[in-house]
Amino acid sequence: MSLDYYLKFINDQSNLILHDLRLPYIKSYYQIDTLMMIQTFFLILEVKNHANFIRFDHKNGVMYQGDKKYEDPVGQAQAQVHQLKSSLHKLGIRDMPVKFLVVFTNPKAILSEEKDERVIYSHQLLQKFEELSNENQTSFIQMPQLNAIANQLITQNKPLQSDMFKQLGILPQNLKLGVICPSCQHLHMIRKHGHWFCPKCQIKSHTAHLRSLFEYQLLFNSQITNRQFRKLCNIESIKTASRLLMSSGLPHIGEHRHRIYHLNYNLQQDGRYLLDYFDKLNFRE
Ligand SMILES: [Zn+2]
């Protein structure tokens, strides 16, 4: 999120920014955190959220966070440059310069003083971007072609579907379903006179089920039926469920009981409250 703040200053009609790409490369995949596409060069941002004192041993491909060892992100980004060039080559783009930066977004990160100009804090991104723009002024493609390449990369993108239940060792049937009170976090609110009612703090809400839909997308998948929605929110009436789903503005296909609603929440924007919650937990430690 701290990186998004700085990207907003750069993002205009002359460039395109793609996030979280996972692209095919020789029977496997490579990942790019953020790709900035400009007519004169492409810029890969390898984003790191590590805190504390960070130093590098590029020769041995190691990054140290205090005593802990990690793979050197500079080496990772160099590999991505190579892989992206290969992908571009296949799309008929041969001479486009591909640059990279490793960006540390955590305000508690302290980078070692041995200067490596490819490793920066997020607040240095604007200045670094301008430097790179000045060094790379030859346009290799026109804007329509840039758009076409972005679309091609998006088509090739295969997001990693991690199975959160498996990872955490939880069974789906162990989840507590229901609508959470936005005021006191009580589970679960009840449906009463056309709104959600919290039996604990007595507040009314018309939108409390939207959080349940968002979390359904996070936990399961991005499609939901009337039946699944009723189970999720403890609603008995098919009509009520249908009305709530229709009023949530989600795109849908199919009619009547075959209708499938497509959950299209933006995990970064709509999930902000989860990050806040996570921060509070860390703060308590
Ligand atoms: Zn409540």
Domains of the chain, earliest start first? 4-156 (3.40.1350), 164-284 (no CATH)
CA of 217 to the centre of ligand 1 (A): 24
The vertex-178 CA angle with 177 and 181, nearest 5°, equals 135
pLDDT in tens for each of the 285 residues of the chain? 667 778 877 777 778 888 888 899 988 899 999 999 999 999 999 999 888 899 999 999 999 998 899 999 999 999 999 999 999 999 999 999 999 999 999 888 999 887 789 999 999 999 999 999 999 999 889 999 999 999 899 888 887 666 778 877 888 888 889 999 999 999 989 999 999 999 999 999 999 999 999 999 888 888 899 999 999 999 999 999 999 999 988 899 888 778 999 998 876 667 777 767 766 665 544
| Residue 186 Cα to ligand 1 middle (Å) | 5
For residue 203, the CA-to-ligand 1 centroid distance in Å is 6
Spatial CA neighbour of 96 closest among 58, 150, 48: 150
Buried b (16+ CB within 10 A) or exposed e, 38-47: bbbbbbbbbb
Q: State the distance from the centre of ligand 1 to the C-alpha of 193, rounded, in angstroms.
A: 17
CA of 229 to the centre of ligand 1 (A): 21
For the entire predicted model, the pTM comes to: 0.64
Determine if the peptide bond prior to 188 is cis (ω within 30°): yes
Q: How far is CA 128 from the centre of its chain?
A: 23
